[in-house]
Amino acid sequence: MNQRAIDIGTSTTISLRHVNRPQAAPAAQPPAAQAPVNQAPISQAPANQPSANPAAANPAPASQSAAPTPSAARPASFLFDPPTIQAAKGNTFVVNLLLSGAQNVHAVPVRLDYDPKMLQLVNVVNGGFLSQDGQMVTLAHREDEMKGESTITASRPNGSGGVSGQGAVVTITFQAKADGQTPLTITQGGALDPGSQQITVNGAQASVTVQ
């Protein structure tokens, strides 16, 4: 790679010749300078400048949902007052059966279950809710002392319309017969409007402790 022509011998001939000398390799050219990244700042539209894409500025709603509707009214409920009862064996106690959140009530039929070994139903009287406007209330009740069931119906006179609100439908008196704990439960029941249409009413339960 590094060879040259050398003249030797006794020749007297004079001649002119060109010697090819190796040329130095050209200096490496520096790589072209690359434009710096993000040489020019990206222009941003002013905050108040409208978007170039109308659809992006005013995107269509994902779904055309209807306006929220108000939650449905809570149904009426029976309540025992008091919900927890302490009674002495041999004594009587009183519990009120309340109706809460009812509208346009004309009659209230219910079935009350209890333990006949521990309790004995003594009396049922009007609690005042259905007679709040002075109307006479009719009470009908039938007991099955063997099963511990009492079917009670309180109703207003025909043509008297209904009443609303909260109050005691009936007041019930029991006698405590034996020690222990037992529930009072409304297992069936509801309310009726003046047209004898059913009004849904949630049931209720109370706890009775005899000692």
How far apart CA 188 and CA 111 sit, in angstroms, is 5
User: What is the rounded distance in angstroms from the CA atom of residue 173 to the CA atom of residue 171?
Assistant: 7
Residue boundaries of the structural domains of the chain: 76-204
Q: Is the pTM of this model over 0.75?
A: no
pLDDT, one tens digit for every residue, the chain (211 residues): 788 777 676 655 566 665 565 555 555 555 555 544 444 444 444 445 444 454 444 554 444 444 444 444 577 999 999 999 999 999 999 999 999 998 999 999 999 999 999 999 999 999 999 999 999 999 999 999 999 999 999 999 999 999 999 999 999 999 999 999 999 999 888 899 999 999 999 999 999 999 9
> Domain 76-204 is in which class?
mainly beta
